Each structure stands twice: as C-alpha cells, then as structure tokens.
Structure 1
Amino acid sequence: MTTLENRPETRFPTTPATPDEWLARAREVRTVLAEGAAARDRAGETPHAEVQLLKDAGLVTLLGPVEHGGGGQEWPLAYRVIREVAAGDGSIGQLLGYHLLWFWAARLVGTAEQIEAVESEATRNQWFFGGAVNPRDEDVVIRDAGDHIVYNGRKSFSTGSKVSDVTVLEGVLDGTETHIFAIVPSQQPGITFHDDWDNIGQRLTESGSVTISEVQVPWDQAAGFREKAFEPRVYNTLNVPTIQLVFVSFYLGIARGALEEAAEYTRTRTRPWLHGGQERAVDEPYQLDLYGDLASKLWAVEALADRVAEEGLAIHRNAWEVTPQERGEHELRVAAVKARATDVALEVTGRVFEGLGARATATELGFDRFWRNVRTHTLHDPVAYKRREVGAFLLRDELPEPTWYS
C-alpha cells in the first residue's frame, strides 16, 4: 500500500476545542501518516489523500476564526501541531506548515478588510494554500492594467502546487520596486505547475517550478494596498521569523519520528553485538548512551523552540503596534533555535543508524528518508548566517535588518 486511499477512512467526529485536544488530533493524524510512509516516499505520488486527511482532521483551519468553523488557535500551538504531523511524514508536515504560513499571510500584509475576507472564505471552504514566492528567482513582473494587475513570470519552487486550492503569488510592479502579494485559484489556465520536483528528500511536497502567465487580480485584492498604495507596518516583516519557526517545527518533528521509530526497531529487532556480553540490544551500554544522548539534545531544542514561540506571541497579538526592536529581538531568538534545530535534526537522523544495525539499511524500512528529508530542506538558507545574526548581536549589539531571509 502506497497511498492513503488504500486504508479505511479515518473519521474525526468532533472539532477539538482546547490546545490539548488539538495536539491529540495531530497525534491521530501522525499515526495514520506513519503507516506506509516509507512506501509512499518511494512512490512519490501526489499526496491528494494526505491533504484531504489534514482537511478532515480540521488542521488546515487551525488558525481560522471560530465563527467560521476554524480552530481559533495561535502560532505556538500551530508549531507543535506541525511537529507532530512531521513526525509521521516529513513531507506532509512541511505542506501543513507552509499552508498555515500562507493562510496567515493575509494577517501579515493585508488590510483589516482583506484579513476578514480571506480568513472567512479560506476557513469556510477549507482552502489549502500553496505559494510561489521564491525570492532567489528573478521577480515575477506585475503589470498595472487599470482596475486590476497582471502577473507574468516563473518561479523555481511552488510548494503545494497540485494539491493546493489557492496559491499565493508575489511579484514586482513593473518599473518600480514595489512588491505585491495576492491569492489566486491554483487551477486556472494562467498557472502551469511543471511537476518537476525530483529531489532526494521531502518528495511529497509538490515543490516543483511554476509558470505564471497573464494571471489577473483586482487591485482591491492586492494585499495591503488601498488606492494602489501600500500601507506598511513593522509586522509585515514577520514573515521570516514565522516561516523559520515553521521550518524548525518540521525539522524537529522529522527528528522525533526518526528517533522514536529507531527506538522501536532497537527494542524489537536489533540484535546485541556478539562480543558485548549482553543478551538484549537495549541492555548494551553504547545503545543506552546513544539514545540518551540523542533524546537529550532533541528535548533541549524542542524546549527552546516552544519558549521562542511563546516569546513571539505578544508580537502576533500586537500586530498593528509592534516595534522594530521587538521584531529584531524575536528574529535573533528564532535564528538561534533554527541553528540548533538544524544541527540536532541532522545528527539525530544520521546517528540513529548506529543503534539499528546493518539490517536496518534495507530500502523497505526507509530509515534513510528521515535524514534525506532534513538534509534537503535545511539547505533552504545557510544556517551559518543564522549564527552570524546571533554573533553580531552579542559582539556588536546589532539587530538583524529585515530581509527575505533575516
């Protein structure tokens, strides 16, 4: 079995009401995803059923307004939900994380009226969001066509592509340096997803390239614009620390999935070394040291991630008044946890093999997918620059300047 279509339907009769209930729901989803995850990774099929599972579980509207059927929850819980889902399947954890980020993008840059319109529609209709916003590419060009704008161009990456209901576009107004975000239907003649994502990890994220041709958007749907003029605020720059914490969440989730799956294998299948003097692998001192070391490091970064998420809550709750100082201090803490999560996730997913044994390298088991998933996405932006942000503050009292990556 390689797809979720081959298993009995998973029913979720009630909507969670508390953070604990939402985490329990996320763990249910994790359990479903973990079954057959290695086979689905090898098959690399478009994860329509996996996204439908996220919808059925209510996770896609976790941040949505309660009055429209959403969970009404906030980012600290959302990060933990992403972590749980990623423990079952790293690709689906990334898809959920990116979806929640783009769902929230209306709050990031939109006017009050746009926020209400987008969140109500997205929640009621359970839109699943994708995004074509890779800043390393040449910018998509936007033409002013009177009462609407027109997007044209290409992006190398568009995570969520074929499984998304709507896609966030970003480009630059022709002849200016003005960036404009907009939400458009994914399935339309002007958007071509090239289905060319063929990387070693995160194989089910639908992150291939996209061509955008004559996609029209009314000016009143250009995020944050009134009368063709953008209304800036400091909160507009929270995209980087927020998405970096999304990254941290699925890195740590993948690492936890690797550690717990490996521990189960060691408990039940790993044979003790014939010269070790132990009858069970779980009694060998080097196994106890290995798992104790990896778990301690993972728990420490999880605790730091939770703390940094809570520290950022005041900024999200005060979106219209946040100061550059508050934003800069938060980004520093995010940079620190991103650096540690990257290192620990790579270490955990690589070193678990030391506790498994040679038989566990069988392709069927798929233990390599955890490392491949982390290794693939941790190359998104160089972690050395995150450490540099922290060092520059410590040594020179410099706060990071807001950019696409800081």
Structure 2
Amino acid sequence: MTTNSNSIVVPQTDPSKYAEYETKWSKLSLPGNEDQWIARAREVAGILAEDATIRDQENKSPHAEISLLKHSGLLKILGPKQYGGGEQPWEVGYKTIREVAKGDGSIGMLLGYHLLWSTTANIVGTPEQADRYQKLIISNNYFIGGAVNPRDSDLKITSEGDHIVFNGFKNFNTGGVVSDLTVLEGVYESTENHIFAFVETRQPGVQFAHNWHNVGLRLTESGSVKIENVRTPWADALGWDIEKKVPDQGVLGIPFTSLLLPTIQLVFSNFYLGIALGALEYASKYTISSTRAWPFGGDNKDKATDEFYILERYGNFFAHLRAAETLVDRAGKEASAIYAEFSKDRTGLTARRRGELAEWVASTKVVTTDTGLRVTAGVFEVTGAKATSLKVGLDRFWRDIRTHTLHDPVAYKNRELGRFQLLDEIPEPSWYT
C-alpha cells in the first residue's frame, strides 16, 4: 500500500513477487538480437498471463509489473549500447510490445508508452539532450510516464530565471504513478510555442488523483494528474535555444520532430494486435479443454473441435490476424527505415516521406482496430456460455482493446486514407496523425 498526497490509501502490487526473475536475468547479458529479444518478451508475457485475470480484477497499481519489465531489460531495448541498452530498431521494439500484450494488455501498453516517451529527446531534443537523456534513462533503467493528453488544455509554462515552471491539469496520463520520470508538455507564456521536458515524478508538484477505474486496461494507471509549480532548468527544454528562449528552428522546424505521433500510433496498433492474438490463443485453449459440442444441430459431433462453425470461425480469425500482423510489421519496417536514415541528419526527411509513413500507420490503426474488436468479441461465439464467467477472464481482452480504441476516432483515419487514395494528399501533422 502507498498513501498519496490526499492521504488516500492506494493498493499496489508487491515488487518482491518477481524477485526471482531479478536474480535470474541479472546473471545474464541483455538479449543480443531480434529473436532473443522476442523470446525475452514472450517469457515476460507467459509470467504475466499466469494471473492476468486476477490482477485485472484486483486493479492494483502495477509496481510489481513495472519491476518485472525492469528486471527483463525490455525497457532498454531501444537504448544505445554504450549506456547499457539493446540498440534495437523500432520494428523490434514494436514486436516486443505485441508479445507482452498477448499476456497482459495493460503491461504491453505501458511498455509501448515507455518506449515512446523514453526516446522523446531523440526526436524533439538537441543532439546533446538526446545523448544526456539516453544516458540517464538507460543507465538507471528508468521507467518513463507522460502527461501529454492533447484533448485537455495545454499546461501553462512560465519562465523564472534559469528555470521554466509548469502548471495545469490533465485528465489522462499513462503510467505516471509508477514512473521514475514524467514527460510534460505545455505552451510557453505569451506564445503558441510548445515545450517538452522530463521531470522527476516523485515531487510534491506532480499530484496524481489515483482515479483510473475503467472498463479495461485497468493496470495502466491512466488517471488524471495536477501539475503545480513543477520547475525544471531551461537547459532541459527539449529542442529550445535557451539563450534566446525560442524554439531552435534547426531542431524543431523540420518534419522529423513530428515523428512522435506516427511512432506512438504504431505503438497502439501493436498492443491492439497483441491483445487480439492473446485472446485467440486463450480462447483456443479454452475450446480444446472446456467447450462442449452442440447436440441439436443435426450434424452432431462428439467434440467441439470437430464442429464446422467453430473451425470456420477460428480459421477466419486466424487469417485476419495473420494479415494484420503482416501489415503491422511492414509499417514497423518503414518506421525503422526512417529513423535509421534520418536520425543523424534530421533535415533530410521530407514532409512527403513523413506523410507516407503516417498513412502506413493509419492503415494499421484501421485494420487492428476493426480486426481486434471483432476477434475479441467473436471468441465468445466459439467458447460458449460458460466462457463468460469472470473466473475464466476471457472478457478482459475485449475490454482492453475496446477501451484504448476510443483514444482517437478511427473514422478519421479512414477519411485520411481516403484523401490519400483519391487526392494523393498526405496528412498535416497533428497530435493524432
């Protein structure tokens, strides 16, 4: 248990639960290639899947689960080797998000958001800031949260000498409660210019409401947060000229810095897909062990696994998920290629190339949303009435994917893709594109 600033007792999971894995993995080197990283993520997913249903129902703050991610090394997968990271491309990071989400959608989502926020300085910061924060985050094995919900009013930023000061409120922040650092973003006073900065999470000015009690993704700590007089040095304002107190146009005035948006949208598609794949696997095991054949169909079978309609549904779900996975992997390769080509020379990325990536990502968002919702709801048709028991826990997959697919309306992704197809228009970068 922990007590927040309002003296509310907040139940949390116990990190000592996974102490054996800290001992086990601390004796090993980090995975060295894609297959090894995916194997590590699959191992983490298996551990989480053992009691995912119970943890979902208990809805405790996921301190233990974050410790498991830290022990596994997955938080470091994208970081530079010189600071102890795995130095893998985004396409491998995406696959590990997907694997973890198969076992527990909440923790797959937290891993995905962390990987995005932990690389924020790489995208919108100066080279010096990017290097400094990679060293800080990777060498300390920090977990990163973010309070950057664009639907709310921007945080207000003022200047006080050598520091900037954040104030405001966000209805949603993901993973902040269990984070070491939190990414804040707001608008600088008397301008329309935005500033991103990392701040220490555990300080009086970062006040979590502990009010995340939603239908799904219950272990993501995505509740509201009040930011009150949180100070950080001007030197930490990512991508700003601290002498002139203006955005550094050599950093922020180019398409590269808008890659945060397609990058995180592709994070979404990967944990949607992971959740759906996890549902299909979970349902398949249930059907084999527990679903009964229907005795009133006129073509009676002894086993549910011989039923035509059950085989047909599973086959159809499998085919669509396999197609979705191929599409998501293709988009991941596109993202990795852009980062590999332009991270050293950001000015080379054109608006057109960035827009084409955004349309690959939009395509994955449409397909993983449609397929994920259909599969996670449809598996009940092939498992039977008894599978609706809370003890079985099959419902968590649909609840998880339904919750996050409301993040931003997929209808706008369809419209965006329609304009690309009919008019050859790439989307303007926005907080959701």
Question: How does the TM-score come out when normalised to structure 1?
Answer: 0.98
- TM-superposed CA distance for 1:62, in Å, is 0.6
Partners of 2:144 and 2:179 within 8 A in 1: yes
1:74 aligns with 2:78: no
Which residue of structure 1 aligns with residue 169 of structure 2?
154
- Aligned equivalent of 1:144: 159
TM-fit CA distance, 1:139 = 0.8
* 1:60–1:96 Cα contact (<8 Å) kept: yes
Partner of 1:285: 308
Paired AA for residue 114 in structure 2: H
Alignment of 1:225-264 (within 5 A): 225-226=240-241, 227=243, 228-231=245-248, 232=252, 233-264=254-285
Which deviations, in whole Å up to 9, do the C-alpha atoms of 1:87-137 show, x marking residues without a partner? Answer: 000000000000000001111100000000000110000110000000110
Pairing of 1:71-110 with structure 2 (within 5 A): 71-110=86-125
1:54 aligned residue: 69
Q: Deviations over 1:58-99 (max 9, x none)?
A: 000111111111111110000000000000000000000000
Q: What is the CA distance between 1:144 and its match in structure 2?
A: 1.2
CA contact (8 A) 1:44 1:203 kept: yes
Once residues 15 and 154 of structure 2 are traced to their aligned partners in structure 1, the CA distance between those partners, rounded to angstroms, is 37
Distance 1:396 1:358, change over 3 A: same
Q: Is 1:271–2:271 an aligned residue pair?
A: no
Q: Distance in 2 between matches of 1:137 and 1:86?
A: 27
Code of the aligned partner of 1:379: L
Partner residue, 1:356: 383
Secondary structure of 1:405's aligned partner:
coil
Segment drifting more, 255-264 vs 315-324: 315-324
**Is the CA contact 2:15–2:67 (under 8 Å) kept in the aligned structure 1?**
no
Tell me the CA shift for residue 5 of structure 1: 4.7
Contact 2:17/2:64 (<8 A) preserved: no
Query: Hey, what does 2:330 align to over in structure 1?
Result: 307
Q: 1:381 aligns with which of 387, 395, 408?
A: 408
Which stretch shifts more, 257-266 or 232-241? 232-241
Q: Secondary structure at the match of 1:77?
A: helix
Aligned to 2:178: 163
1:209 maps to which of 199, 212, 224: 224
Tell me which residue corresponds to 1:181.
196
The alignment's C-alpha RMSD in Å is 1.2
Normalized against structure 2, the TM-score is what?
A: 0.92
**Which SS does the other structure have where 1:399 is aligned?**
coil
Name the CA distance, whole Å, in 2 between partners of 1:46 and 1:184: 21
- Rate the CA distance shift 1:139–1:8 in 2: closer, same or farther, 3 A: closer
Whether the aligned pair in 1 keeps the contact of 2:196 and 2:238 (CA below 8 Å) is yes
> Alignment partner for residue 370 of structure 2, among 343, 351, 356?
343
Amino acid at match of 2:246: A
User: For residues 15 and 189 of structure 2, what CA distance do their matches in structure 1 show?
Assistant: 44
The residue aligned with 2:360 is 333
Which residue is 2:132 aligned to?
117
| Distance in 1 between residues matched to 2:19 and 2:335, nearest whole Å | 40
Q: Which ranges of structure 1 fall in alignment gaps of 5 or more residues?
A: none
For 2:283 and 2:222, locate their aligned partners in 1 and report how far apart those are by CA, in whole Å: 28
Give the CA deviation at 1:4.
7.0
Would the aligned equivalents of 2:14 and 2:63 in 1 still touch at CA under 8 Å? no
The CA distance in 1 between the partners of 2:97 and 2:187, in whole Å, is 31
Q: Residue 402 of structure 1: SS of its match in structure 2?
A: coil
Stretch moving more, 199-208 or 266-275: 266-275
Distance, in Å, in 2 between the alignment partners of 1:138 and 1:302 is: 36
Q: Per the alignment, in what secondary structure is the counterpart of residue 50 of structure 1?
A: helix
Shift of residue 198 of structure 1? 1.2
Contact 2:18 2:67 in 1 (8 A): no
Give the aligned partner of residue 37 of structure 1. Answer: 52
Distance 2:335 2:103 in 1: 27
- In the TM superposition, what whole-angstrom CA distance separates every residue of 1:332-388 from its partner, at most 9, and x where no partner exists? 111111101000000010000011111111111111110000000000000010011
| Paired AA for residue 143 in structure 1 | T
**What is the alpha-carbon distance in structure 2 between the residues aligned to residue 199 and residue 74 of structure 1?**
33
| Equivalent residue, structure 2, for 1:135 | 150
CA contact (8 A) 2:217 2:400 kept: yes
Does structure 2 retain, via aligned residues, the 8 Å contact 1:3–1:40?
A: no
The one-letter code sitting in structure 1 at the alignment partner of 2:361 is V
Aligned residues: 405
Query: CA offsets, 1:118-163, max 9 Å, x none?
Result: 0011000011000000011011100011211000011111110211
- What is the alpha-carbon distance in structure 1 between the residues aligned to residue 204 and residue 17 of structure 2? 32
Give the conservation status (yes or no) of the 8 Å contact 1:87–1:253.
Answer: yes
Q: Secondary structure at the match of 1:277?
A: coil
Shift of 1:396: 1.2
Q: Which runs of 5+ in 2 are unaligned?
A: 1-12
Q: For residues 256 and 269 of structure 1, what CA distance do their matches in structure 2 show?
A: 20
Q: Which amino acid aligns with 1:146?
A: G
Identity across matched positions, percent? 52
- 1:6 is displaced (CA, Å) by 4.7
**Letter aligned with residue 403 of structure 1:** S
* Residue-by-residue CA offset, 1:249-305 (whole Å, 9 max, x unaligned): 100000011000000110111111113421111111111101000010001001000
Q: Shift of residue 230 of structure 1?
A: 1.4
The structure-2 alpha-carbon separation of the partners of 1:149 and 1:6, relative to structure 1 and needing over 3 Å to count, comes to closer
Distance 1:97 1:7, change over 3 A: closer
Greater alpha carbon shift after TM alignment, 367-376 vs 229-238: 229-238
How far apart are the structure 2 equivalents of 1:96 and 1:312?
18
Residue 397, structure 1, aligned to residue 397, structure 2: no
Amino acid at match of 1:229: V
AA matched with 2:107: I
Separation in structure 1 between the aligned mates of residue 305 and residue 96 of structure 2, nearest angstrom:
31
What is aligned with 2:6?
A: none
Secondary structure of the corresponding residue to residue 182 of structure 1: strand
